[in-house]
Amino acid sequence: MKCDTFIEALSARVKVLEVTRQCEDQVTALVELNDLPEAVRFLYYDMGGYLSTMIPNDERSINKHYALYYALSMEGGKMFEGDEIAQDEKCFVTIKVLISPDSLTYPSVTPLVPACVWYEREAYDMFGLVAEGLPDKRRLALSDDWPEGLFPLRKDAMDYRYRPDMKDHYMEPEYEFLRPEGSGIIDVPLGPLHITADEPGHFRLFCDGDTIIDADYRLFYQHRGMEKLAENRMNYDQMGYLAERVCGICGYAHSIACIEAAEKAINLEIPARAQAIRVICSEIERLHSHLLNIGLACEVTGNYNAFMHIFRIREYSMKLAELVTGGRKTYGNVVMGGLRRDMTGEEIRESLKILKIIETQADEVWDAVMDDQRQMKRWKGVGILDKQVARDFSAVGPNIRGSGIKRDTRYDHPYDFFKQIEFNVAVVEGGDVFAREMVRYMELKSSVSIIRQCFELMPQTAIIVDPKFHVKPENYALAYVEAPRGDNVHWIMQGSAQKVFRWRCRAATYNNWPSLRFQFRGNTIADAALIVCSLDPCYSCTERVTVVDVKSKKSKILTHKDLKEFSKTQKNSPMKDLR
């Protein structure tokens, strides 16, 4: 079966205590705690894996331990011709370790696999699990004034007492940016609020004159408690609606990944027509997302004419989404077992007409942009993501494909209707802004073709089946969707009835952020905003912090009125202890 080759090789390298299979292409190997770094390194570099996600979990009620799951996509290093695993052997191998609640420590994998750095920093923030040897132990997801000893994703997170030493926790200390050594270095802030960014992110550019020699950044300014909320209050269908609101661009991809993780955990196969429509909707999202980013990459450099034309075309993609789902952006269409809404023949015919308009007009505008020498000078050679850096940090989406690495979940792990679809993975060498935008343009063309194939091939089946839940607590599985920014990976462990025990949502941008500092280096300050734009980041996608009041031990959703009062005066606000 799939994964057996990798488990056999791993067993020859370290002691494997237990092997469990979640589904045909997913297997988990439990190893000794001290073998964790070598096990992950071996699969990552020697066997051709990429880090898909890492899941910390509070399993004290199950086995009296905390657990870490390092999920690797086994597909080959892809650094040169032939450095790829055969298609029928590609799979997901997860390394699992158990951590005693008495020690709360484990050996860091980051020194051997740099892609683990954000995951291990977050494991401390959320669960209090300490990675010994982690080079960067600063907080990641929580604010710097968050009370010590309070870890929001532990199962007993609400079972604590207010302590006197918490009283000044809202006086936030200054974040310590990693400043390079040397004289004459200028510290240039970009953000937290900046005219080129729709969301807050605090970047520090360390410059020698006008040249950026290094950078650091502080994110996670937008806090939401979705993982905790799902554990306590939601069934799976409701989780799908919540997941759709993770991102304003990739919402459909998140809802599919969330629901399919639950479907995989119970081995549920959905009807082929529902599979096809899910693919159609995810490709429509790719259309309006890539048009958005190409337009913004023109706007940031002052090319407002191209920006306006591209956004005019993007409006057609929103109309297309409305025809398929009934909504321009928030669809509410994905449920356990399939979809809520089918398409009529008239809607399909109208959709095909709109696809032709998008294809024709996108080609015309792109040709005009390519003929603009000023635009090309701003894109070419700027913000280069080195191929090895992309490999080391498990970058995803156009960010890694623009560095010449053929990584695409639709190709490596075909899901839903993609098993019947023909398409070419867009790969461009160079690693600069131009390469990433070229990948997006090529994928625009590919998405039009994929949608047409789905309309042509999808059968007249039902769009939903009865899930018939046979829930087995502690079953888990991961699901993945190639969103416009890269693969979104969701991991679900079942609880009782239709409740989830643990939900881990990993957005594409989460894997792309850590390597950004390398893309800044050697460029000018004037190019900084463009480099961030070409990453196509989604800030809020990665930010999932629980909001609690440390005095009352209660969570609270801020109303519009609360926010207005809080903005007027934080000192006298009854919400001053809220984080």
What is the per-residue pLDDT across 41-87, written as a single tens digit (0 to 9) for each?
A: 999 999 999 999 999 999 999 999 999 999 999 999 999 999 999 99
Looking at the fold, whether 134 and 282 belong to one and the same domain comes out as: no
CB atoms within 10 A of CB 169: 18
Q: Does 250 appear as a known binding residue? A: yes
Query: Does residue 186 sit within a domain?
Result: no
d(C-alpha 49, C-alpha 33), whole Å = 20
pLDDT at residue 559 greater than cutoff 70:
no
Q: Is residue 173 part of a domain?
A: no
Residue 102 belongs to a domain with what CATH number?
3.30.460.80
Q: Whole-model pTM?
A: 0.90
State the CATH number of the domain containing residue 384.
Answer: 1.10.645.10
Tens digits of residue pLDDT in 184-212: 888 888 877 666 666 778 888 899 989 99
Model confidence at 574, pLDDT cuts 50, 70, 90, reads very low
318 and 428 co-located in one domain = yes
Q: How confident is the model at residue 577 (pLDDT cuts 50, 70, 90)?
A: very low
Residue 569 included in any domain:
no
Percent of the chain with pLDDT over 90: 66
The answer on 233 and 112 residing in a single domain is no
| Domain end among 138, 160, 183 | 138
Boundary-marking domain end, from 138, 172, 202: 138
Q: Is residue 438 part of a domain?
A: yes
Residue 427 per-residue DSSP state: -
Judge whether residue 570 has pLDDT over 50: no
The answer to whether residue 145 is domain-embedded is no
pLDDT in tens, 87-111: 999 999 999 999 999 999 999 999 9
**Residue 207 among known ligand-binding residues:** no
Task: Take residue 318 and report the two structure tokens written for it.
Answer: 């929103």
DSSP label at residue 43: I
* Mean pLDDT, rounded, for 315-328: 90
Burial 63-89 (b: 16+ CB within 10 A, else e): eeebbbbbbbbbbbbbeeeeebbeeeb
Between 377 and 174, name the one with better pLDDT: 377
pLDDT tens for each residue of 517-550 = 999 999 999 999 999 999 988 766 655 543 444 4
Most confident of 136-150, 339-353, 561-575: 339-353
258 marked as binding residue? no
Mean predicted confidence (pLDDT) in 101-125: 96
Q: Is the pLDDT of residue 327 over 50?
A: yes
For residue 183, with 0-12 CB atoms within 10 Å meaning exposed, 13-18 middle and 19 or more buried, which class applies?
exposed
**Nearest Cα to 305, choosing from 372, 376, 373?**
372
Co-location of 113 and 244 in the same domain:
no
In degrees, rounded to 5, the angle at the alpha carbon of residue 566 between the alpha carbons of residues 561 and 570 is 165
CA distance 413 to 87: 8
Question: Tokens 């996108």 belong to which residue?
Answer: 362
Residues 526 and 366: their CA atoms lie apart, in Å, by 24
Assigned domain for 179 exists: no
Among 324, 254, 234, 316, smallest CA distance to 483 is for 254
Amino acid in position 74: M
CA distance 573 to 234: 31
DSSP for 527-578 reads GHHHHHHHH---TGGG--PPPEETTTTEE-PPPHHHHHHHHH-STT-TTTTB
Domain that holds residue 241: 226-542
Tell whether 214 is covered by a domain: no
Is 505 flagged in the annotation as binding? no
Number of folded domains in the chain? Answer: 2
- In tens, the pLDDT along 350-399 reads 999 999 999 999 999 999 999 999 999 999 999 999 999 999 999 999 99
Residues 477, 344 share a domain:
yes
Question: Binding residue per annotation — 75?
Answer: no
Answer whether residue 503 is part of any domain: yes
Mean pLDDT computed over every residue of the chain: 87
How much is the pLDDT for 331?
81
